[in-house]
Amino acid sequence: MTAPDDPVHEAIASLPLPDEWDWELVVRPRRRTLGIDIAPDGRVRFAAPQDADPREVADAVRSRLPRLADEVRRRRRHPAEPVKELVDGTGFAYLGRRYRLSVVPADEERPRVRLHRGRLVLPAPVDRQDGGRRITDWYTERGTDWLAVRLPSYAGVVGVAPRALEVRDLGTHWGACGPDGTITVHWAVLQLSPALVDLVLFHELCHLRAPGHGIAFHGHLRRALPDAEERERLFADEEPGLWRGAVR
C-alpha cells in the first residue's frame, strides 16, 4: 500500500470517486500498466507501476469510473460467494445450460465426473472437499477441450499467436494474459453461455495486441467483437452468481 501523500494516490483521490468506496493503491515494480481489481465484496485495488505518471493514472481511472461504479454496486449487492450442497438435485451450469447433480455409488470403472442423460454425475466422494475438487477438475478438463477448439480461429480474428492455453483457478480474475503469451481462463467462466465465455477469451487475446485497458485495447476488442459492450453488461450481471468451488 502507498501513503496518502503519494502523488499517484493523491491523483486518484482527487477524482470524483463515490464516497462509499473502500479503495487502496499498491505499487507493483514489475507492472507496466495500471491494473484495477474489484474484490467480491466491492473493495477496489489500483495497482500501478513504480514509475507511473499520476496524470495518466488519473485519466485512466476517470475514463473507467462509470463502469467501475456499476460493478462495485453489483458486487456489494451480491457479496457472498455462492456455495453448493453436493446432494442430488443441486443445480450446476455448464456453457449456459443447467444440469442437476446426481451422486451415485463410487465406480472404479467410471470414477470421474461426467454428463449423462442431462445430469451431472458425481461418483460418491470421500468428503465434501473431494467432491468439490472433482467437479472443478471436470470444469477444467471440459473447458480446456472446448476452448482449445475455438482458440485458433479467434486468435486469427485478433491477429495474434498465443503461446498456450490454460484453464485453472485464477482467484478473483476471470482471465489472464501472461508475458510469455499464455492465455488463461478461470474454470468458473465455463458456467456462462458460449457468448460470454468467448468474451473472456477475446478479451485476453486482445491483450496480446495491447496491454492495459486503454483506447487501443478497446479498439481491438470491438473490432473483434462488435457487440462487446453488450456482452460486458451481461457478463457483469452474471458474474456475481458464478460458483467458484465452495461446498457444504
Where is the domain boundary, 30, 46, 77? 77
Q: What is the mean pLDDT of residues 137-147?
A: 97
Residue with more model confidence, 154 or 108? 154
98 and 170 together in one domain: yes
Order of all β-strands in the sheet with 175-177:
164-168, 182-186, 175-177
The per-residue pLDDT for 73 is 86
143 in Cβ contact with 185 (< 8 Å)? yes
Tens-digit pLDDT profile for residues 18-32? 988 999 999 988 888
Let me know: does 22 contact 43? Beta carbons within 8 Å: yes
Q: What CATH number is given to the structural domain containing 204?
A: 3.30.2010.10
Residues of the chain with pLDDT > 70, as a percent, come to: 96
**For residue 85, is it within any domain?**
no
- Rounded Cα distance between 36 and 67, Å, is 12
pTM flag (> 0.75): no
Given pLDDT bands bounded at 50, 70 and 90, which one contains residue 199? very high
Distance CA 198, CA 30 (A): 29
62 and 145 belong to one structural domain: no
Mean pLDDT over 107-136 rounds to 90
Task: Please tell me the total count of domains within the chain.
Answer: 2
Same domain for 137 and 69? no
Mean pLDDT, residues 124-151: 96
Mean pLDDT of 74-98: 88
**Rounded to whole angstroms, what are the CA distances from 227 to 71, 215, 233, 234?**
19, 16, 10, 11
Same domain, 40 and 129: no
Q: What is the pLDDT of residues 148-197, one digit of tens each?
A: 999 999 999 999 999 999 999 998 899 999 999 999 999 999 999 999 99
- Residue 103: what residue type? V
Residues 29 and 68 reside in one and the same domain: yes
Domain co-membership, 72 together with 119: no
User: In 3D, which of 246, 168, 155 has the Cα closest to residue 207?
Assistant: 155
**Domain residues for 123?**
91-241
**Calpha distance 122→109 (Å, rounded):** 13
pLDDT bucket at 109, cuts 50 / 70 / 90: low
Q: Which three cell numbers stand for residue 149?
A: 477448439
Query: Position 6: which residue type?
Result: D
Residue 44's region, left for phi above 0, alpha for psi from -120 to 50, else beta, is beta
84 belongs to a structural domain: no
pLDDT at position 163? 96
Q: Is the pLDDT of residue 41 over 80?
A: no
Looking at the structure, do residues 121 and 182 belong to the same domain, yes or no?
yes
pLDDT at position 147 over 80: yes
With 0-12 CB in 10 A as exposed, 13-18 as middle and 19+ as buried, what is 96?
Answer: middle
pLDDT of residue 3: 66
Instruction: Report CA torsion sign: 16, 19, 22, 27.
Output: positive
Q: Which amino acid is at 195?
A: A
- Tens of pLDDT, residue by residue over 211-243, are 888 899 999 999 999 999 999 999 988 998 899
Nearest residue to 235 via CA among 175, 205, 192? 192
Contact between residue 8 and residue 48 where contact means Cβ atoms under 8 Å apart: yes
- Shared-domain flag, residues 112 and 225: yes
pLDDT, mean over the chain: 92
Last residue of a domain, one of 42, 77, 112: 77
Out of 28, 54, 77, a domain closes at 77
Q: For residue 43, is it within any domain?
A: yes
Q: How far apart are CA 46 and CA 10, in angstroms?
A: 13
Here the cell at position 25 is 493503491
Q: What is the pLDDT of residue 133?
A: 96
Three-class secondary structure of residue 247 per DSSP: strand
Asked whether residue 183 is assigned to any structural domain, the reply reads yes
